[in-house]
Amino acid sequence: DTAVSQTPKYLVTQMGNDKSIKCEQNLGHDTMYWYKQDSKKFLKIMFSYNNKELIINETVPNRFSPKSPDKAHLNLHINSLELGDSAVYFCASSQVGGGGHEQYFGPGTRLTVT
């Protein structure tokens, strides 16, 4: 009965590889997000999808590509991984339609690039 889930929880990979992180929410929300939390704990929005449509696309390298196959899923694919991509990536969801505000976060995926 987990509300927002992510896989994998940990990801260790070498520079230059391509990897994906998956996110699923069972809250029936219409909007999903990807955040990056760096080693200093700064939380920064990367992308947001509303009903499978990209609505927020912050200044993120083109190596990062989100994909939303349906309202309940938002995946993040990263090409040509770099050392600076090491961080914790959080997925979140909220119900924007109807005036909802609260964003529910997933457990995070700790990505380590060596």
Partner 1 sequence: GENVEQHPSTLSVQEGDSAVIKCTYSDSASNYFPWYKQELGKRPQLIIDIRSNVGEKKDQRIAVTLNKTAKHFSLHITETQPEDSAVYFCAAKRGLITGGGNKLTFGTGTQLKVEL
Site residues, partner 1 (CB under 8 A) = 31, 40-45, 48, 50, 55-56, 90, 94, 96, 99, 101-108
Closest to partner 1 by CB, 64 or 90: 90
Closest to partner 1 by CB, 15 or 27: 27
Return d(Cα 100, Cα 79) in angstroms, integer. Answer: 33
Return d(Cα 76, Cα 66) in angstroms, integer. Answer: 4
Cis peptide before 8 (omega within 30 of 0): yes
Closest to partner 1 by CB, 77 or 107: 107
Return d(Cα 46, Cα 58) in angstroms, integer. Answer: 5
Q: Which residues pair with 65 in a beta bridge?
A: 77
Min dist CB 82 to partner 1, Å, is: 23
Residue 44 token pair:
């920064």
Min dist CB 111 to partner 1, Å, is: 15
Min dist CB 28 to partner 1, Å, is: 16
